[in-house]
Structure 1
């Protein structure tokens, strides 16, 4: 009966998942995408954000269905920029801003669940790659207000993902994390082979990142693919009973 379709929502780092799907690394299945560069988890509480990520995500959910697996990729912008800057501007702790980001993220997932989109995979936030001595680039320039070092941004992302995993469990959704595959065990940061060839580009190298994300998503995909034929059979039986009763 085929594999369950997927719908990917996220910031620009969702491109790794798109590449995996388009390269058939996730099997033969329909895939759709709503990718909003600059989208943040914190922005899921703000319908008037510059990116309009919340509005665009809501609109994309309106045309998916309960038999679609929704894969969400958010958090890199939060851990690499937003949390640091908002903490400084508002005179709050990093912890308070981390909590606020996760609360907004959880609120969006609950909203999706209320819409009947209960088949969800939350993916770990992408680790930062911009080095402290990186050449000037568009992203580095835009994030210059955040003065945290690469080590500090990486440590915050680890903390964020630990909390995100617990949040996924509490919400009853799947969790996928490619972080262990991306790490250099010596430096504790992203390994060289996953770094973008352009040192000013904060995205991971596309092909290897797509491969490891495909590996990490396959268990969740297999579980939901196994459910689909059973659900379709049950739905067919319900329709048959309704016709007989008419």
Structure 2
């Protein structure tokens, strides 16, 4: 049985909490690069240098390990909007660039010899409109996209991620159906962090949601 190796942005902490709570049926390893973006994977000199960190951790191929990738929240919550606004390009063009970079990273791992790579959907945004508590919220207020727009973009993003995974016949899973309110289509209050300065999911509720999704994978 393979062990999991979770890599991605700070939202990987939900998987780490799940492991600490004993919710996974497999041994798990973690690499968190705060602020990592999918689009930044095409640039080894990006601010976070995420691609270099991920490649150092995962390459050459680790026997008995299955990578699990968690990226996209930073893209959908901020970077896609900021780049479109700053570069004068469309949101669709920036969405495509992010997905392309993500897919290229997946292919790098597959080509290196990983028979399975698990792709996880980007976490829906949690920061309310006009909310500026916390460093992340203050940094992101420079773009005008509403919570609704950012959530809708995340759903589009995840549909494209799922399609890329299907094209490569690798597993995809996400927790959007569980963490979004059925009435509003926005993040449910139960899944917001109790700390208003924290843009991550509720640490315990998020951990349980991801553990259920990962454990359900038939890999």
* Bin of the TM-score, shorter chain as denominator length: over 0.9
Match of 1:53 in 2: 50
SS in 2 for 1:34: strand
Match of 1:16 in 2: 14
SS in 2 for 1:147: coil
User: Aligned match of 2:90 in 88, 93, 107?
Assistant: 93
Match of 1:104 in 2: 101
CA distance in 2, matches of 1:191, 1:121: 25
Q: CA deviation at 1:180?
A: 0.5
Alignment of 1:114-193 (within 5 A): 114-193=111-190
How many pairs does the alignment contain?
Answer: 219
CA distance in 2, matches of 1:63, 1:7: 14
Q: TM-score if structure 1 supplies the norm length? A: 0.86
Structure 1 stretches (4+) deviating beyond 2 angstroms?
none
SS in 1 for 2:129: coil
SS in 1 for 2:100: helix
Structure 1 residues 13 and 35: alpha-carbon distance in aligned structure 2, compared to 1, 3 A threshold: same
Q: CA deviation at 1:63?
A: 5.9
- Counterpart contact for 1:129–1:204, Cα < 8 Å: yes
CA distance in 2, matches of 1:219, 1:191: 22
SS in 1 for 2:30: strand
Alignment of 1:200-219 (within 5 A): 200-219=197-216
Q: Which moved more, 1:122-131 or 1:54-63?
A: 54-63
Unmatched 5+ stretches in structure 1? 225-246
SS in 1 for 2:200: coil
CA distance in 1, matches of 2:145, 2:163: 25
SS in 2 for 1:71: strand
Q: TM-score if structure 2 supplies the norm length? A: 0.96
For residues 3-36 of structure 1, what are the alpha-carbon distances to aligned partners after superposition, in whole Å with 9 as ceiling and x for unaligned? 4211000100011111112222112x32111110
Match of 1:239 in 2: none
Unmatched 5+ stretches in structure 2? none
Structure with more helix by fraction: 1
- Counterpart contact for 2:191–2:206, Cα < 8 Å: yes
Q: CA deviation at 1:51?
A: 0.5
- Counterpart contact for 1:6–1:68, Cα < 8 Å: yes
